[in-house]
Structure 1
Amino acid sequence: MTARRPGLDERPALARGAGQHLLVAAGDPDLAELLATTLELAGYRISLTGTGAEAVARVAERRFDLVVFDTDVPDQGAFDRERRPELPYRPPVLLLTGYDSLDRLVPELGPGRRDYVTKPFRVAEVLARIQVLLRDARPGRARRNPLHYGDLVLDDTVCRARRGARALDLTPAEYRLLRHLLVNAHRVLSKEQIGRCVWGEHRGDNAIEQLVSRLRRKVDRDAPALIHTRRGFGYWLGGADPAV
């Protein structure tokens, strides 16, 4: 019998819940079943809805800890600002979308914190993003909004970023990376730390390098560099050498 080698055959445990109540809005029955089964196994209580209008009505009726919303759900008109009812509580929302640009996403359940996972998605990423949203929604975890460093500004209520007067067209992964660098300004972050924050799992060095390169081209274009490399250690954001 071949001995199991520690670290090679083991995978990190998936993020788990603690009984929080989640509303899942998905029009595709197969997707709804997948999400409900996965999230229940992960320790969450689940309610299901199949339309945008019903999702808004359910949130208006009772308090959910988080909403998982498939942007292909029918009845997108339910999210028109003029028709949307006033909500007593604005839960964090995880959007599942086939688009790769934050600017194209319209659905809202109020101006609560939102995050995005692009389809086809991995279960580990969905669970990791849910855990982060729930953690940030806890009392005492609120951060000043918008976040900023010099002329770099991130607004979590709409998940948009700008550098000075220039809007940054970021993908969900790029936004997560930039936010992670910003809230840890002047601190070197390893590739493993970045991978777990952005995707919920560690990925190969090349994936991290490509993501950082794309983000750097957008953030540091025509402006003093804010994103830096500490060779052999990782990446950091700031205008001077980080403290070591």
Structure 2
Amino acid sequence: MTKILVVDDEPALVRTLSINLRARGYEVTHAFDGRTALQCIAEDTPDVVVLDLGLPDLDGVQVIRRVRRTSELPIIVLSARHDSDDKVEALDEGADDYVTKPFGMDELLARVRAAVRRRTPSSAHPEPVRTDHFTLDFAERVATRDGSPVKLTPTEWNLLEALAIRPGHLVPQAELLREVWGPGYEKDTHYLRVYVAGLRRKLEPEPGRPRYLLTDPGQGYRFSC
């Protein structure tokens, strides 16, 4: 059974989410602050975290940052903050998705399902990639740069796979968003900007002058290997 950790300081919202998630077959645990959430993640190993940014102790972005030191656990951010900078910061620190309050339950459930799918590697993988600067083994999900291990999140691996399976070819933005995040994400192009920038920092020798992860402005991305 898929285990969801809900982290929010609003008891009524936690109760509503728990009822709806359990009704759809998920196991649900909850935490009302960041420190308890980190303890639950360390001890209970949930499959997905639904995380509010406005917690009473640690800011949600701090929680994401600490989780990403050791875990690829999918994180869906849930927040009343509407500023796009907050979304970008959360995604840049390693969140997999972002839902703004108020939200529809169907939307959140769809994003939970998408996060669970992204956590499960596909049975079909591109061939391993070896460049002068990094290697990618998609079957084992092992990456190295200049001989040193590089930690990539499940979403980063899925994005790389969607590009690497068509080496050198333009992959349109909407197609990438649909393949990596799922139906209904075709207009969320900021996800691609944030994740491609993060991958460039991890893999490219000069992130500001990419050689491998290339942008066709306004159209999409291509993987040159």
TM-score (norm 2): 0.54
Matched to 2:141, the amino acid is R
Match of 1:143 among 134, 141, 144: 141
1:28 and 2:10 are equivalent in the alignment: yes
Unaligned runs of 5+ in 1: 1-18, 107-112, 148-153, 160-174
Matched to 1:25, the amino acid is V
Retained in 1: the 8 A contact 2:8–2:14? yes
1:63 shift after superposition: 3.3
Q: Name the CA shift for 1:185/1:32 in 2 (closer, same or farther; >3 Å).
A: farther
Q: Distance in 2 between matches of 1:239 and 1:132?
A: 27
User: What is the aligned partner in structure 2 of residue 41 from structure 1?
Assistant: 23
Matched to 1:28, the amino acid is E
SS in 1 for 2:120: helix
Match of 2:119 among 124, 131, 134: 134
Q: Distance in 2 between matches of 1:80 and 1:238?
A: 32
Deviations 1:128-183 (A, max 9, x none): 44213431499x96512369xxxxxx963598xxxxxxxxxxxxxxx799646434
Count matched residues.
182
Q: Distance in 1 between matches of 2:59 and 2:108?
A: 29
User: What is the aligned partner in structure 2 of residue 167 from structure 1?
Assistant: none
SS in 2 for 1:145: strand
Q: Distance in 1 between matches of 2:111 and 2:87?
A: 16
Identity, % of aligned pairs?
Answer: 17
Matched to 1:145, the amino acid is A
Q: CA RMSD in A?
A: 5.0
Matched to 1:134, the amino acid is R
Retained in 2: the 8 A contact 1:23–1:47? yes
* Alignment of structure 1 residues 204-223 onto 2, 5 Å: 207=187
Retained in 1: the 8 A contact 2:7–2:33? yes
* Alignment of structure 1 residues 1-244 onto 2, 5 Å: 19-76=1-58, 90=71, 92-96=73-77, 97=79, 98=81, 99-102=86-89, 114-120=95-101, 122-136=107-121, 142-145=140-143, 156-157=152-153, 179=160, 181-186=162-167, 189=171, 193-197=175-179, 199-202=181-184, 207=187, 226-228=214-216, 235=220, 237-239=222-224
1:237 shift after superposition: 1.0
SS in 2 for 1:54: helix
Retained in 1: the 8 A contact 2:5–2:48? yes
1:92 shift after superposition: 0.7
Unaligned runs of 5+ in 2: 124-137, 201-206
Retained in 2: the 8 A contact 1:28–1:73? no
Q: Name the CA shift for 1:184/1:61 in 2 (closer, same or farther; >3 Å).
A: same
Matched to 1:67, the amino acid is V
Matched to 2:29, the amino acid is S
Q: Distance in 2 between matches of 1:123 and 1:58?
A: 21
Q: Name the CA shift for 1:237/1:28 in 2 (closer, same or farther; >3 Å).
A: same
Q: Name the CA shift for 1:68/1:141 in 2 (closer, same or farther; >3 Å).
A: farther
Q: Distance in 1 between matches of 2:115 and 2:62?
A: 25
Matched to 2:117, the amino acid is V
Q: Mark the structure with the bigger radius of gyration.
A: 1
SS in 1 for 2:4: strand
Retained in 1: the 8 A contact 2:8–2:55? yes
